[in-house]
Structure 1
Amino acid sequence: MNLENIAAVVTGAASGLGEATARALAAKGVKVAIFDLQAEKGERVAAEIGGIFCEVNVTSDESVDAGFAKARAAHGQEAVLVCCAGTGNAVKTASRSREDESIKHFPAAAFDWLIQINLIGTFRCVAKSAAGMLTLEPGKDGARGAIVMTASVAAEDGQIGQAAYSASKGGIVGMTLPIARDLMGEGIRINTILPGIFSTPLMNGMPDHVKDALGASVPFPKRMGDPAEYAKLALHMVENDYMNGEDVRLDGAIRMAPR
């Protein structure tokens, strides 16, 4: 896919992996719309890359619809969607208190909250964007668009307390190929990245000794990933017309231990 002068939407693009991807797309001449709830950060990034910010909650049909309407009014129908919006939590399925031996379990509402954001929120944006891409005129090989989703290495080797997070990211991996097959007759490709330990705002807020230990746990290179490295792979998935239906780990060969 030739990226020059096309439109793209990047969710979760006010910071971290999404921000790096939005900047990389803009550097290629793409008109980028940023979907995020962090208005101040999102507006700043949009201004710096010549894009547009849309305050979007991916758990809401109305909010996502309004975001796409605003983005398309400014830039036209997007041919690229990169989904980076997401969050996490860490709660054991069931556990015993060390203080008083009381027993508690992971509340179903907290599990559902994470699934709503990470998995259903991703699918909501994918389905609505793909429907819009169907209106585009086909290009080479009948191509109309490209989509990249973000899972996690936790989809394959989740740690203690990550049942909900791993389920949400595993769901993204699991729906990659079926979506590729759903859209194959319309010239829309979809791929998924499974990032390992990356230097994102969440990680950067940790103490230095914790960050150093996390980086040292990566086989090679022994450091956390740079969001620009995620963006580079995302752009490759978009630009390489033969890449479709793939789930790719980007993790320095790490395999997460139980804790």
Structure 2
Amino acid sequence: MELNENISAVITGGASGLGAATARRLAEKGVKVALFDLNEEKGEALASELGGVFCKVNVTEDESVDAGFEKARAAVGQERILVNCAGIGNAIKTASRSKEDGSIKHFPMDAFNFVIQVNLVGTFRCIAKSAAGMLTLDPLADGDRGAMVNTASVAAEDGQIGQAAYSASKGGVVGMTLPIARDLSREGIRVNTILPGIFDTPLLAGAPQNVRDALGAMVPHPPRLGVPDEYAKLALCMIETGYFNGEDVRLDGGIRMAPR
């Protein structure tokens, strides 16, 4: 897909981190961007900077996602690109003993379900609704109607202690990539997924410098945290390269996560 001013994109989680970096890269190519996020202050500011539109969207709610696509398409046109970066995480053991009194507790089901609803179901919700819109478009000269990039995590394959919900949600994103790509292949819509390693995103922004340094040192090469723009570059490669389809690609500096 050739990126230019005739192409529109929707980026979920687009107000910061991986999503914001991808929105900037797309905008540099002339692409009109719509940012889906819950952070109005950051989202509006970035949309204004990029000449795009911000849509306050909760990916766990059909009505919110529908309203977001309606607003985005009215402002920048029917998207040919969807990049799913919205996501959350938590760290809770499946079952554990209290160090204080020895009492036993298990992973709260509502906390487990919330991560699944945001990371997995929310991603699929946006894919399905975006794909339906892309089907209304004529194919481009290269045969593409659209291209999608999803965000999983190395935790999909190397889940650490306390990451049962997060790993399950991201493993689900990996697992559905190929079937969705197959579902949409005859319509000229490509689907790929990135599995980022330890990236310097807002999730780590509040961590002490010694913790950040220790995390970076775990990476074989280069021994540092990933930079959001590196994710953005891979996302654009997936979008622009017509033979890139149905793939799950780690972007992690060669790390394989230890249990903790």
Give the TM-score normalised by the residue count of structure 2.
Answer: 0.99
Aligned pairs for 1:1-259 within 5 A: 1-5=1-5, 6-259=7-260
Q: What is the SS of the residue equivalent to 2:9? A: strand
How many residue pairs match? The answer is 259
Q: What is the SS of the residue equivalent to 2:27? A: helix
Deviating above 2 A after TM superposition, structure 1's stretches of 4 or more consecutive aligned residues are none
Q: What is the SS of the residue equivalent to 2:186? A: helix
Q: For residues 58-85 of structure 1, give each alpha carbon's deviation from its aligned partner in whole angstroms, at most 9, with x where no partner exists.
A: 0000000000000000111000000000
Shift of 1:52: 0.4
How far apart, in 1, do the equivalents of 2:188 and 2:51 lie?
28
Q: What is the SS of the residue equivalent to 2:137? A: coil
How far apart, in 1, do the equivalents of 2:142 and 2:46 lie?
34
Shift of 1:147: 0.2
Identical amino acids, percent of aligned pairs: 75
What is the aligned-residue RMSD (CA, Å)? Answer: 0.6
How far apart, in 2, do the equivalents of 1:76 and 1:206 lie?
39
Structure 2: runs of 5+ lacking an equivalent: none
Q: What is the SS of the residue equivalent to 2:113? A: helix
8 Å Cα contact 1:141-1:187 kept in structure 2:
no
Q: Letter of the 1:204 partner, please give it.
A: A
Q: For residues 179-219 of structure 1, give each alpha carbon's deviation from its aligned partner in whole angstroms, at most 9, with x where no partner exists.
A: 00000110000000000000001112100000000000000
Q: Letter of the 1:241 partner, please give it.
A: G
Q: Letter of the 1:182 partner, please give it.
A: D
Shift of 1:139: 1.7
How far apart, in 2, do the equivalents of 1:141 and 1:4 lie?
14
How far apart, in 1, do the equivalents of 2:32 and 2:239 lie?
15
8 Å Cα contact 1:119-1:169 kept in structure 2:
yes
8 Å Cα contact 1:89-1:162 kept in structure 2:
yes
Shift of 1:221: 0.1
Shift of 1:141: 4.3
Q: Letter of the 2:77 partner, please give it.
A: G
Q: Letter of the 1:3 partner, please give it.
A: L
Structure 1: runs of 5+ lacking an equivalent: none
Q: Letter of the 1:8 partner, please give it.
A: A
How far apart, in 1, do the equivalents of 2:126 and 2:111 lie?
22
Give the TM-score normalised by the residue count of structure 1.
Answer: 0.99
Q: Letter of the 2:165 partner, please give it.
A: A
How far apart, in 2, do the equivalents of 1:52 and 1:109 lie?
33
